[in-house]
Amino acid sequence: MSRQEITLSIQLAVKAPDVHRELVRIVGELDQFSIQEREDAAWVDVLVLEIGHDPAAEFETIRLLLKENVVGALFLTASEATTDLLLPAMRAGAREFFQQPIDAAEVKQALEAVLQKRLRELNPGSTVSEKGKIYSVVGAKGGVGTTTFAVNFATSIQALNKDRLVALIDMNPFTGEIPFFLDLKTDTDWEEIGRNLSRLDAPYLQSAMARHSSGVFVLPAPPKLDRELKMATGFLFKLVSAMREFFDDIVIDCGMSISGDAMKICEYSESIYLISTMSMPCIINVRKLQQSFASAAGVTNGRLQVVANRFEKKGQLSLAEASKLLGSDIVNIIPNDYPLTMSAVSSGKTVAEVAKRSQVAKAYRKLAQSVTGPQVGKAGGLFGLFR
């Protein structure tokens, strides 16, 4: 079924007249959504519920709505967001929260995600989304190889298909190392881009992002410790969302951060790679991460991909033992080769550039193949100019 053949229903349980009016206006601009006025409808695809008046009663309503299976996606809105109010609601299964005054772009983005999910359900196996895919990379501990993974994964995707537009983002303010790993001189970081968010178009990004010889566009993190980051809430999520319009693949080095924007970005990711070694402390952290992703963003094993990095047959835990502890098979394995990865980093090259036929380079190639599928480039768009 195509996008044009779908209409999803939205009900607005919103008392504040200006908020209601704004939501009606936003939905009116979307062809694939229509407002459901009837309060006795047996099912609505999206319910926007205003909370904050009587938290106990509202929480009970949320619980019942989700239990009775009468709502596809539940979105919340309130004039004020306190953790006491939001956390139980999000834990109960609400998908999104819109702070008032309503940000139209944020609402449209969330509705688009619902539509994409429905399209995926209706067309299993097909890639209906034309937007770029996000691959988040999260470390189970410091120093496990998160940046090495992000850099070599992104460049391996690019190597498989020169037509793809691949972005690599460093989310680690002050400690980001991607430019160093790729021996890139960069002038602009994402904080700088945030100051020009209104002009986030292809030509601006082209001039702002550094391009590595592999073809990958790199967006570093702000580097200096001596300045305070002045960014609006949700800014990084907005930036990454906007970048999906221009790029086919966006690989993000999240470091060990899964709070705030990073969690939201992970929620919208095609896959989240949890980088771990086969040691007990790391596997325990992976378990905690699995739980956090499940409770905070509803992300479970299908999209969470544990990576056994620096893998050695004689490691502390076997793959079978670690898989058992995690409740899912570990299928992504990068062999241990310290001299190679160190030599790559110190010369500012990728592992494939240093040793194309090495087991590590092969492992990255295999991983990249698992996400690129058939070699199809993204047509049109201003970013086509970069190809």
Ligand X SMILES: Nc1ncnc2c1ncn2[C@@H]1O[C@H](COP(=O)(O)OP(=O)(O)OP(=O)(O)O)[C@@H](O)[C@H]1O
The binding site for ligand X (CB under 6 A) comprises: 139, 142-148, 255, 309-310, 334, 336-338, 341-342, 345, 360
Task: Choose among Mg ion, ligand X, none what residue 207 binds, the Cβ cut-off being 5 to 8 Å by kind.
Answer: none
Residue 147 binds to Mg ion (criterion: CB under 5 A)? yes
Which one of Mg ion, ligand X, none is in contact with 264 (Cβ closer than 5 to 8 A by kind)? none
**Nearer residue to ligand X within complex by CB, 107 or 221:** 221
Residue 341 binding result from ligand X, Mg ion, none, given CB thresholds of 5 to 8 Å by partner type = ligand X
Q: Quickly list DSSP for 117-141.
A: HHHHHHSTT-----SPEEEEEEESS
The residue count for binding Mg ion (CB under 5 A) is 2
Spell 278-291 as b/e; 16+ CB within 10 A means b. Answer: bbeebbebbeebbe
- Closest CB to ligand X among residues 13, 355: 355
What residue number has its CB nearest to Mg ion? 147
Amino acid at 355: A
Compare residues 146 and 372 and give the one whose CB is closer to Mg ion: 146
Peptide bond into 179 cis (omega under 30): no
- Exposure of 90 by Cβ count < 10 A (0-12 exposed, 13-18 middle, 19+ buried)? buried
Identify which of 177, 158, 156 has the alpha carbon closest to the alpha carbon of residue 166. 158
When asked if residue 309 is in the footprint of Mg ion (CB under 5 A), the reply is: no
372 contact, one of ligand X, Mg ion, none, CB 5-8 Å limit per kind: none
Query: Measured from the CB of residue 194, what is the shortest distance to ligand X in angstroms?
Result: 22
CB of 13 to ligand X, least distance (A): 44
Residue type, 74: L
Choose from Mg ion, ligand X, none: what does 378 bind? Cβ within 5-8 Å by kind: none
Closest approach, Cβ 150 to ligand X, in A, equals 8
Residue 353 has φ and ψ, to the nearest 5°, of -70, -35
Which of 363, 360, 326 is closest to 340 using CA atoms? 360
341 lies in the site for Mg ion, by CB under 5 A: no
Considering beta carbons, is residue 52 or 145 the nearer one to ligand X? 145
What's the CA gap between 128 and 3, in Å, rounded? 8
Give which of ligand X, Mg ion, none residue 52 binds (C-beta under 5 to 8 Å, depending on kind): none
Q: Which of ligand X, Mg ion, none does residue 148 bind (CB under 5 to 8 Å by kind)?
A: ligand X
Measured from the CB atom, the residue of 90 and 307 that comes closer to ligand X is: 307
C-beta closer to ligand X: residue 65 or 151: 151
Measured from the CB of residue 146, what is the shortest distance to Mg ion in angstroms?
5
CB 32, min distance to ligand X, A = 40
How many angstroms separate the Cα of 143 from the Cα of each of 135, 149, 266, 316? 19, 11, 20, 17
* 294 contact, one of Mg ion, ligand X, none, CB 5-8 Å limit per kind: none
Min separation Cβ 227 and Mg ion, Å: 21
- Tell me the pairing of strands 210-211 and 217-219: antiparallel
| Least distance to ligand X, CB of residue 162, Å | 25
Q: How far is the CB of 364 from ligand X (least distance, A)?
A: 9
- Closest by CA to 107, choosing from 14, 34, 37, 26, is 26
The sign of the torsion formed by the CA atoms of 312, 318, 320, 325 equals negative
Number of H helices, E strands in the chain: 15, 13
Query: Which residues are near Mg ion by CB under 5 A?
Result: 146-147
